[in-house]
Structure 1
Amino acid sequence: MDNARPVPLAIFLIIAGVVGWIAAFALTLDKFIQLENPDAKLGCDFNILVGCSTNLASEQGAVFGFPNPIIGLTCWVVPVVIGVALLAGARFPRWFWLALWAGFLFGACLVAWFITQSIYVISSLCPWCMLTWSMMIPSFLAVTFHVLRLGAFGRGTRARSVGSALIGWTPLITLVIFVLIAVLAQLRLDVIAHIF
């Protein structure tokens, strides 16, 4: 495995973890307000289409039996700690990178499910949720490409070459995914008409 310190990845993981954690914290506070007063208008409720209340009150808002923001409060600490450890010079074994990738894969699948539920079932876009999505998607891509580049999926040079080639394209791939989500939301919910 490559022993070069991945400074850009480390910095990005810290930033993504902090931003994701802030979004989860804000959602947690909003959930407390909603529990105290189910009719309360939350600060992130902008209109009938864009707001947190509907998502937080939905079945999907507690997919594992407790409010989803608790997942974010717990999980977004992990990339911050790993990013700091990498900056401090930590070297992790193959199994660690594979476990981290599996965690991000689970998070990315969960986010993909939340996106489809928000657009096609709940018909509401939660701003704090979208901020979380916007951190999870590039985080998953960056970790995936880094793990490929390290050769953690196997010793073949092809995977390493693919990872090395794609890691620089993470921002563009992320942007394409964001545009795709925006188009799906527009086609299903007519977001622009509700904003103006």
Structure 2
Amino acid sequence: MNPHFPAHGITTERLTLQAAHPAHSRALHTYLVANRTYLQPWEPLREDDFFEPGAITQRLNTMAEKTASGEALHLLILRDGDVIGTCNFTHIVRGAFQACHLGYALDESAQGQGLMCEALQAAIAHVFGTLKLHRIMANYRPENTRSERLLKRLGFEREGEARAYLMINGTWADHVLTSLINAGKPDS
């Protein structure tokens, strides 16, 4: 368990964010299988074994370990006890950088309700307030206008473009690079 993340999670008006844990295996499996086709254009190619319960439990173990060590913060977004999305703050770097990368996904049936914005506002407040990170970087494909609008709404600023940045759905895909800077005072 991460001493910097509440054991009961973070609660918003409609959601609960919980640190990923092997106990979530069944709920995450349901979410992943239900959204496999919907998320495919935005993610790396996934072989069938990626969706197997044992593989999901193994990934949740790794996520929990990385969260506990401070290397990442892997969160599941729950509504009424069901996993409806994920948000992951990965590649946390300390020292002079104090930064991480943000990735997120939301259930197809939960789109257009402001739920990801609500979840990310709470998660970002934790990352900046409790973890004291200075910069969160988030990148999106130029054709993903939903992510573009979400990141703008959250205050992320465009920093540039990266050609052939990530292998997405079997193809090297360009990405727009954005970041959000913590406006709070640095610790002395």
TM-score normalised over the length of structure 2? 0.32
Report which of the two structures shows the higher radius of gyration computed on alpha carbons: 1
TM-score normalised over the length of structure 1? 0.31
